[in-house]
Structures are given as C-alpha cells and as structure tokens.
Amino acid sequence: MKLDIDKLRAEAEKELRDAGVHEKLSAWYSKFLGKKGIVRNFLASISDLSPEEKKEMGKKINLLKSDLEKLYSDAFSLVSSIKKDSQITEFYKTLPGKRPEVGHLHLITQAIREIDAVFARLGFVRVRYPEVDWDYFAFEALNMPKAHPARDEWETFFVDLPEDPKMGKVVVTPHTSSGQVREMLKAELPIRMLNISRCGRRQIDLNHVPTFYQFEGLVIDRGISISHLKGVLEYLIHNFFGKDTKFRLRPYDFRFTEPSFEVDVTCGLCGGKGCRFCKGGWVELGGAGMVHPNVLKAGGIDPEVYSGFAFGWGVERVLMMRSGIKIDDIRLLFENNMKFLEQF
C-alpha cells in the first residue's frame, strides 16, 4: 500500500465538507478515524518500515489523526448547534481550500514547440498553410497529375464543394508538402520554411489516425545539395533523439523529389541492436529528398539556377520514436484520457 498522507488528508477534508448531518458525520468518522478506519490502517501498515522511517511516518500519521479529530469535533458541535444555514457557511469558510489542478500543454503541442525551436536555431521560419486545400497544391503542383497512381498512397478525404477548373477538387490537406508551392509563390528566395500543420487521411490503426500533424522543411537557394539536407537532418535527429542516434537515407520514390529518400534512425527502444519492435535495429521516420525541377517550376523558380531540399515527417511519429516515451498506439494521443496525459 502506498501511504499518501496528503492525498488522504485532502480526501478526508473534502468528504467532511460534504457531510452536513449527524449520520453522515458518523459514517465519515468510522471511515477515517474508526477502529477499522483508514488512519489506523495506515498506522498498522508501517510496522515493516525501518525504525527511522517508522518514526517519521508515525509522526505524520499521528499529526493527521489529531487534525482530523479536531475537524470532526468542530463539525460535530456545529451540526449540533445549527440554527441558521449561514452558520454552516461560516464553518466551511474555516476549512482548508481546495487546490485547483494545474494543467500542462498537450504532448503533441510540446513536441511541436520543441521541433519549432530546433529549426528556429537554423533560421527556419515557421509558417502554416490551409488545412483544407486545392487538389492543385496537394498533388498536381507536386508533380502528381490528375489520376496519377502515386496519389493512392495519400488516402485523401474530398470535400463536397464545387470543383475549380484550374485548381481541381477541394481536399482535406493530406500532407504538409502542400505548403511547398504555396511558399515558393509567396516568399522571397532564399527559402527556409518550416510548415507544421494538421493533415487528414482515411486511415486508422495502431500507427495511423484520420487527423494528425506533420512538419515539413523546405530549403531553396543557389547550390543546395544533398549534403545540406544531411546536415539539417543530423541536427534535428541529434537534438530531438540524442547524439547516440544514427540515421541513414534509403532510396525511395516520391514524385515531388528527385532523388527521394526514406530516413531511418536507430531504434530508441533497443539502441539499434534489433528488438521485437524494430526487428533489424532501424525504424523509419519519414520522407525527404531534393525538390523536383517540375515543382520548382510550378513555384515560379528556375531549376537551372536554384535547387532545394525538402522533408516531411509526422509529429506523432517522431514523438513515439523517442526513447523513454513508450507509446505503442498513436490513438492514445487523441483520446484525451487524463490518466494518460498527466504522465507527461
């Protein structure tokens, strides 16, 4: 049994406050101070402790006992002598107040702020683009023409609104990459963008939810190469996961980057040795690559002069990969269960 004296004190005081008649008061007395009451149980349970601990705990419990007895006898005489309701109020005023609970930021907000802070040190500017966007920015401008099979991967939600002849349908933004061309059209070069936003896809299981967050980096300047991309990824990974985490770029194909990569990091649970979760020691984080010339053109940028890199990862995913945070079901992050959230 864990002896939490403060908790017991708070509980006893609260219940006493709610007990306004004799019968309730005596039930309160037996529960907390009676022969089989909680305070006696506490006293009995410390017999196994070391003599010093026993002495200290004993003192605390006895103090609690005498405080509660005093509160009880005050309450008893008050209830016996009540003539007017206002007297009860007077008595309640003398009881210790109820401490308001102090909340904290949601785990995902904490992660977003941390990611933002890491990139701010490299001069990235935080932006946000619409959570409901045109098909054009989500796919077409990213080198995925209408009906291209690559689009299937994005499990898109379509919004029931009229189609625009040039921009196409309206979609729930399926990835933060939709901000790439918007940024190119808006910002002046060079670009160092960090777009963190909510996205939506038709999917739900241990690793997927219909609404989630991504962060997207985009850098465009003269002479940008893969080594810049690797340097930035290394900075993020070392700051977010720790210096011991290694990473690798694995060839992949995204339509909007060429070459494209998937980025893997060594597993946070086993340190890269290989375990039940990661199997081979590596876990996949997300995509990256060098911006495709067609995407630069869609943004009005000359690919002969400028080049750039981009990467887009899930906020929840990097959070879950972090060692020490053992969350094995992404849905936990969205259930708003206080018992879960209070741990962080």
Q: Residues interacting with ligand DAH, by CB under 6 A?
A: 175, 177, 216, 254, 257, 260, 286-289, 310-312
Q: Shortest distance, CB of residue 175 to ligand DAH, whole angstroms? A: 3
Least distance to ligand DAH, CB of residue 311, Å: 5
Task: Report how far residue 140's alpha carbon sits from residue 311's, in angstroms, rounded to the nearest whole number.
Answer: 18
- C-alpha 121/C-alpha 133 separation (Å) is 30
Q: How far is the CB of 256 from ligand DAH (least distance, A)?
A: 6
Between 200 and 287, name the residue whose CB sits nearer to ligand DAH: 287
The H or E element that residue 213 is part of is strand 211-221
Shortest gap between Cβ of 97 and ligand DAH (angstroms)? 50
Residue closest to 233 by CA, chosen among 170, 171, 154, 286: 286
When computed from its CA atoms, the radius of gyration of the chain, rounded to whole angstroms, is: 30
Give me the least distance between CB of 19 and ligand DAH, in Å please. Answer: 58
In the complex with ligand DAH, the residue whose CB is nearer, 7 or 148, is 148
Strands of the sheet with 168-172, listed across from one edge: 132-134, 168-172, 158-164
Q: What is the 3-state secondary structure (H, E, C) of 213-254?
A: EEEEEEEEECCCCHHHHHHHHHHHHHHHCCCCCCEEEEEECC
Pick 28 or 313: Cβ nearer ligand DAH: 313
The least CB distance from residue 341 to ligand DAH, in Å, is: 26
Amino acid in position 162: P
CB closer to ligand DAH out of 151 and 175: 175
| DSSP-based helix, strand, coil % in the chain, nearest 5 | 45, 20, 35
Pick between residue 130 and residue 286 the one whose CB is nearest to ligand DAH.
286
Q: Phi and psi for 219 in degrees, rounded to 5?
A: -125, 125
Q: Which is nearer to ligand DAH, 288 or 330 (CB)?
A: 288
Beta carbons within 10 angstroms of residue 141's beta carbon: 24
Contact 57, 3 (CB under 8 A): yes
